[in-house]
Amino acid sequence: MKVLDQAAHRRFKDELYQEFARLGQALASPRRLEMLDLLAQRERSVEDLAQEMGLSIANASQHLRILAHARLVETRREGTRVYYRLAGDQVFRLWQALREVGEARLAEIGAIVQRYLGERDQLEAIDAAELLRRVEVGEVVLLDVRPFEEYRAGHIPGAQPVPPERLEQILQTLPRDREIVAYCRGPFCIFSDEAVARLRQAGFAAHRLRLGLPDWRVLGLPVAKGDTDDAP
C-alpha cells in the first residue's frame, strides 16, 4: 500500500467524493427519479418513457444521458430503437433507500400523499411466504394492476394481470367469497389505490399490498415472467 503525503491524501479524497457526487447530481431531478421508478418495472425505449411522462423525446433523452453517465442505467439497441434498463438491483436499492429516507424525514411527503390520496389501505401484516401460500391454495386472489407490459416483464407468482383499463370488465368474474389483494409499482403507485376503492365499492373485501414488484424482487422473493391463461 502506498503511503500518501498530505497533498496526495487531499487529492485522493477530492477525486473520490467527486465520483460519488456524480450519483447525487444524477438523482437531483424529479424527472430522473421517476424514470428510475419506471425502469424498475421493465426496460423501456426513449419514446415509451417520453410518452408515459409527458416529455418530449429530446428532453427524455437528455435525462437518460445523465443517468447513463452516472452508470445508473444501461442500454441495448434493437434496430433503430434504444432501450434503457436499470444497471442493476443496486440502482433500485439506491432509489428505494432515498424513498424510505424521504418518507421518514420529510413530513411534506406524507402530507402530499394525504392530500391527494387520503387514508390509504394497505396489507402489511401478512408476510410474503404466507401471501404466496394463500394465493396458491385459493384463499386470496392477487391482482397485478400495472400496465400489462410490466406484468409480462415480471410479476408475483399467481398474480392475475388486471391493468387499470380492464378492471371494470373483470368485476363480474371475481369470486366474492375470497379476499382480493392488489399491488402495482410500489408504495406511491396509485393504480392499486384506485383498484381497491372500486373493488370495495362493488362489494369485495379488497386490500392493497404496499410492496411493488421491484421491492418484492430485491427481497429475493420469486418472480414469474410472461403471460398467463388463468382467469382471476
CB atoms within 10 A of CB 84: 24
**Distance between CA atoms of residues 226 and 118, nearest Å:** 34
Any idea which residues carry the catalytic annotation? 184
Residue 190: name the closest of 164, 166, 171 by CA.
164
User: In the CATH scheme, what architecture does the domain 6-88 have?
Assistant: Orthogonal Bundle (1.10)
Domain 120-218: CATH architecture, name and number where available? 3-Layer(aba) Sandwich (3.40)
Cβ atoms 196, 208 nearer than 8 A: yes
Rg of the chain over Cα atoms, rounded to whole angstroms, equals 21
The domain ranges of the chain are 6-88, 120-218
pLDDT in tens, the chain (232 residues): 777 788 988 999 999 999 999 999 999 999 999 999 999 999 999 999 999 999 999 999 999 999 999 999 999 999 889 999 999 999 999 999 999 999 999 999 999 999 988 877 665 546 788 899 999 999 999 999 999 999 999 999 999 999 999 999 999 999 999 999 999 999 999 999 999 999 999 999 999 998 999 999 999 999 999 875 444 4
What is the value of pTM for the model shown? 0.91
Q: Do the beta carbons of residue 131 and residue 171 sit within 8 Å?
A: no
The confidence score (pLDDT) of residue 229 equals 44
Nearest to 211 by CA among 139, 172, 155: 155
Per-residue 3-state assignment (H helix, E strand, C coil) for 16-81: HHHHHHHHHHHHCCHHHHHHHHHHCCCCEEHHHHHHHHCCCHHHHHHHHHHHHHCCCEEEEEECCE
Query: Helix (H) and strand (E) counts for the chain?
Result: 11, 7
State the pLDDT at residue 197. 92
Q: What pLDDT sits at residue 122?
A: 62
Residue linked to cell 410518452: 51
- Cα separation, 212 vs 134, whole angstroms: 18
Grid coordinates belonging to 77? 439497441
